[in-house]
Amino acid sequence: MCARNGAPFIEEQLESLDRQSHGDWSILIADDRSSDATATIVDDWIAGAGAGRARCANVGGRGIAANYLELLARTGPEDGAIAFCDQDDIWLPHKLQRALERLAAVPRPDRPAAYACRSLVFHDRPDDARPSRAPRRLPAFGNAMVQNMLAGHALVINQAAAALLRDTVPAALAAGVPFHDWWAYLVLSGAGAQIVLDDEPGVLYRQHGANVLGDNRGLRAGLSRARMIAARRYRGWLDRNLAGLEACAGVLTPQSEAHLRRVVEWRARRGMPRLLQGPGQVGLYRQGMIDGAVLSVMARTGWM
C-alpha cells in the first residue's frame, strides 16, 4: 500500500484487511509524506496489528506508479503472491482467499499469472454501490498497449508474476511509466502470463474528488478522459509505456516483441501511411465499441 493524505478513508481500508477470510497475509506500506493524520492512523493500526503483520518502507516523491513499483521491488520470493492495495477502498472479506484459490488453479505454478476481480463502485455510501463494467473482450498484449483493464485495486499476482515484474522495475522507473497496474498488464500479457478474470466483485471501489483516474463510465468520466486526450497526456503515456517495454523487451514472448516493434514503427508514421492503416490493422484494440472508434480517430490524426 502507498498512502498519501488518506486520513478520511485509510482506517476503513485497514480494518477491511483485518476481516479477510484468508488470514495469512502481511502488508508493506509506505506513506508519501502526508500532511494530514495518515501516518498517525497507520502507526496506530500497525501497533495493534501484531508482530509480523505489517512493515513500513520509505518511498515517495516520484508519483503513484513509481511508489508502487519501488515497493514491489522490495518484495521477494518469501512474500509469495502480491496484491496492490489502495488506501481509499474497502476489501470484501473473500478478496484474498478467492484470488489465491483461482491462482492456485493455474496448471503450472511456475507460470506467471494475474487475478483481477470486478469491483463495486460507490461514491458516498457502500450500500449504493454498483458493479464495475465487465470487459467485452479478452485481455491481450494488443489491448494492453492502448488500455489498462487490470485495475490495481483488483489485482493479485502469483510469485512467478511478481518475480517477472520485479525484474522490469528499473526499466519502468527510467521510462517514467504513468501507472503501476497498467505496467503490470503490459508486461504480464506480453510475457504470456495467464490472466484470470473473476466476475465476482471483491472490492468496494470508492469514488471521490482525489481519485487519480476513477471509474471509467458516465459523462463525468468521459469528459475527464476527453480532456486528457486533448492535452495529449494519453499520447505521452503511450510513449513512456512503449519506451519501458523496449528497454526490457527480453521478457516478452517473441510474438509480443515482434508486435511491439510493429506498433512502434506504425506510430512513427505520418501523413497518408498513417491515414490508411488504423490501429486494428496492427493488432491494437480497446474494450468498447465507442472506445475503439475514438482510438481509430486518434490514431489517424496523430493524437496517439
**What integer is the mean pLDDT of 142-168?**
97
Pairing state between β 155-157 and 82-83: antiparallel
- pLDDT bin (cut points 50, 70, 90) of residue 230 is low
Is 284 contained in some domain? yes
Euclidean distance between CA atoms 294 and 274, whole angstroms? 15
Split at pLDDT 50, 70, 90, the class of 290 is confident
How large is the average pLDDT for residues 275-293? 88
What average pLDDT does the structure give for the chain? 91
pLDDT at residue 231 above 70? no
250 within domain boundaries: yes
Residue 68 lies in a domain: no
Residues 10-56 pLDDT 10s? 999 999 999 999 999 999 999 999 999 999 999 999 999 888 899 99
Whether the pLDDT of residue 223 is over 60: the answer is no
Q: How far, in Å, CA of 45 to CA of 14, rounded?
A: 8
Q: Which of 47-51, 201-205, 228-232 has the lowest mean pLDDT?
A: 228-232
Look at 146-160, 171-185, 195-209, 284-298 and tell me which has the smallest mean pLDDT: 284-298
| Residue 212, pLDDT above cutoff 60 | no
Instruction: With beta carbons less than 8 A apart as the criterion, state whether 242 and 264 touch.
Output: yes
Which burial class, exposed, middle or buried, applies to 92 when counting CB atoms under 10 A from its CB (0-12, 13-18, 19+)?
buried
pLDDT value at position 58? 84
- pLDDT bracket for residue 226 (50, 70, 90): low
List pLDDT tens digits, range 43-61: 999 999 888 899 998 887 7
Does some domain include residue 227? yes
pLDDT attached to residue 221: 53
Give exposure, 58-70, as e/b (b: 16+ Cβ within 10 Å). Answer: ebbeebbbbbbbb
Mind spelling out the 3-state secondary structure of 57-86? CCCCCCCHHHHHHHHHHCCCHHHCCEECCC
Which grid cell sits at 303? 493524437
Which has the higher per-residue pLDDT, 277 or 226? Answer: 277
C-alpha dihedral sign at 204, 2, 239, 158: negative
Is residue 302 predicted with pLDDT exceeding 90?
Answer: no
Arithmetic mean of pLDDT, 159-172: 98
Quickly state the pLDDT bin for 126 (edges 50, 70, 90).
confident
Q: Is the pLDDT of residue 217 over 60?
A: no
In a domain, 63, yes or no: no
Average pLDDT of 71-76?
95
The pTM for the full model equals: 0.92
Domain count for the chain: 1
- pLDDT band, residue 229 (cuts 50/70/90): low
pLDDT of res. 95: 98
96 sits in the region (left: phi over 0; alpha: psi -120 to 50; else beta) called alpha
The answer to whether residue 37 is domain-embedded is no
- In this structure, is residue 156 part of a structural domain? yes
* Predicted local confidence at residue 224, as pLDDT: 56
Domain extent, residue 191, equals: 80-304
Q: Which one is predicted more confidently, 131 or 125?
A: 131
Q: Taking residues 219-243, what's their average pLDDT? A: 73
